[in-house]
Amino acid sequence: MPAFHHTLRIRYQECDAQGVVYFARYPEYYDVSLTEMFREAIGSYQAMVDSGVDIVVAEQSLRYLGAARFDELIDVAIAIDKLGTTSMVSSYAISRNGDTLVEGQMRHVFIAVATKDKTPVPDHIRAALGAYAAQTETGG
């Protein structure tokens, strides 16, 4: 079950000529919400970057079940499915008034800022993210 929730309001410029949120904006809502999850977990995403570690998206998938409109409030729920040695798989659901609009999954890889090479998830971040994990596994 999703362990973190963040509420966002749809902006005018996020909607397209069909009058609904442009399909490529939903992963951005996830990303904004992930930043908030990191704030709660480790203080700040930028602090992690400043310490030499960053994350990049390696894979993502989404299913669209409904469409949000301008000025509506949406809930973004995130859970960490797996914390590997150097990777993080998370799931999310975006809903409006309890109706799921989008379901997605993301795979991030932790990298060293200096080299852009894969790097192990730092221990304190692994520990902190554990609170949002449906399951924690090693490997991968």
Binding site for a copy of itself (CB under 8 A): 11-13, 15-19, 22-25, 27-28, 31-32, 35, 44-46, 54, 56-64, 67, 70-71
d(CA 42, CA 104): 23
CB 13 within 8 A of CB 21: no
Q: What's the sign of the alpha-carbon dihedral 9, 12, 15, 20?
A: positive
Please state the closest distance from residue 28 (CB atom) to a copy of itself, in A.
5
Please state the closest distance from residue 38 (CB atom) to a copy of itself, in A.
10
Nearer to a copy of itself (CB atom), residue 55 or residue 80: 55
Please state the closest distance from residue 136 (CB atom) to a copy of itself, in A.
24
Please state the closest distance from residue 14 (CB atom) to a copy of itself, in A.
9
Nearer to a copy of itself (CB atom), residue 31 or residue 40: 31
Nearer to a copy of itself (CB atom), residue 48 or residue 133: 48
CB 37 within 8 A of CB 4: yes
d(CA 62, CA 107): 12
Please state the closest distance from residue 125 (CB atom) to a copy of itself, in A.
17
In 90-119, which positions are buried (b, 16+ CB within 10 angstroms) versus exposed (e)?
Answer: bbbbbbbeeeebbbbebbbbbbeeeeeeeb
| Alpha carbon separation from 17 to 35, 51, 96, 101 (Å, rounded) | 29, 42, 21, 19
Nearer to a copy of itself (CB atom), residue 22 or residue 100: 22
Nearer to a copy of itself (CB atom), residue 16 or residue 136: 16
